[in-house]
Amino acid sequence: MRLLIKGGRLIDPFKRIDAVQDLLVEDGKVRSRGDQLDDSGCEIIDASGKIVCPGFIDMHVHLREPGFEYKEDIASGSRAAACGGFTTVCCMPNTEPVIDNEAVVGFVKEKARKVGIVNVLPVGSISKKQSGVELSEIAELVTAGCVAISDDGKPVMKANIMRNALDYAKMFGLPVLSHCEDLNLVNGGLMHEGYYSTIYGLRGIPAAAEEVMVARDIILARLTGGHLHICHASTAGSMALIRQAKAEGLKVSCEVTPHHLTLSDEIIDGYDADTKVNPPLRSEEHLLALREALLDGTVDCIATDHAPHHFEAKDCEYELAACGISGLETAIAVIMDKLVRPGLLDIKDMVKLFTTGPARVMGLDKGTLGEGKPADITIIDPEMLKTVDPRTFKSKGKNTPFKGMELQGWPCMTLVNGVLIAQNGEILLKKQF
């Protein structure tokens, strides 16, 4: 099959392309780019006024399967990803059973093959059962198809375990994705420790709870030479430490989330549990520091930390509510509306943070529209104006603090291997559950 995407603004940071060009797709791969390509025998997509990009990658999602299918499963999560403009997602291991052995990795991959409509790549657990006590069989996880290791959802509190993880992962060129949080400093906190935690009467979590673990893990990365990736970095201090580590030449990378880039702890005044997330929404000072780090190259990628929950887990007192935001279907629109449209972030940099950035961190042969590459493509309509309505989400998780917000700039088409799978928030590809 031949498909011609005509007249879009093609942005490919890897190829350093930013131009109005046609894109020819044949047999699921990128065939060529250029001006006014021959459209004979082609199915046509008119991309005039649209932005055509390599397929966006979300390197940090929780698909909840196996074990927590009432929150999300691979079928629903992959459809949420497609409608959100993502063609590849990396799923975290805090499932039941934990993704800590070949059998569970095999289950995830096979389920993704059968019911998934985007590329689903499993992340294995650093420790067996995410206990933080004994390393998983990392070689087994790599052989089975894991692209990284992480205990995300639970910090690795024991320094010797993290050291060994970095050492072993280095043998396989695997990044270690670290959830940096000192539980002793968290101490039952519910939101960022500061002015608003005092005003709202909620126990606070200091920025130091994240920063001391970032500092520790950077020291261990220096010791081992392993690739350390800081998940959902949220504080000014973390950014300063990561910036220094990079200047030193250490193999350290990091991600930030759309919610930490655009929402501050002030919005918790209504005690809406959809604002409860881990790490917590920080003060304006930290939010601005994250934005600065986007611009100076400290941040490698934007990731959603998509954490869907069932209704009852959020429809309760703030203290009892689960942490997490369902972010796959709003991420691009949030960044487009809150950062790109006001001129705070260049569109080319945004595309890089969702494509070549995560591809490089995870060692993936993705994130470009180079000739011969799989035709994973995200098309964005910068003029599309929609109100966030969780009732329309394909995700089972409707927990979002962005509900009711009017946002401009949405993904309008998502293609995987040259097949149009989602358009304007609806799934086109019919695949049996």
pLDDT recorded at residue 431: 60
* Gap between the Cα atoms of 185 and 304, Å rounded: 25
Distance CA 276, CA 284 (A): 16
SS3 228: strand
Enter the CATH code of domain 2-52+374-425.
Answer: 2.30.40.10
Radius of gyration of the chain (CA): 21
What residues act catalytically?
305
Residue 85 CA to residue 79 CA, distance in Å, equals: 10
Tokens at residue 268, please? 């918790």
For residues 326 and 307, give the distance between their C-alpha atoms in angstroms, rounded to a whole number. 5
Alpha helices in 320-383 (DSSP H): 331-335, 347-354, 356-362
Long-range contacts of 211-214 (CB under 8 A, 24+ apart): 211/180, 211/235, 211/237, 211/238, 211/241, 212/182, 212/185, 213/155, 213/178, 213/180, 213/181, 213/182, 214/180, 214/238, 214/241, 214/242
Check if CATH label 3.20.20.140 holds for domain 55-362: yes
Ranges under pLDDT 50 in the chain: 433
Pairing of strands 377-387, 406-416: antiparallel
pTM of the model: 0.97
Which tens digit of pLDDT belongs to each residue from 349-368? 999 999 999 999 999 999 99
**Can you give the pLDDT at residue 433?**
46
- Express as a percent the part of the chain with pLDDT over 90: 97
Q: Where are the domains of the chain?
A: 2-52+374-425, 55-362
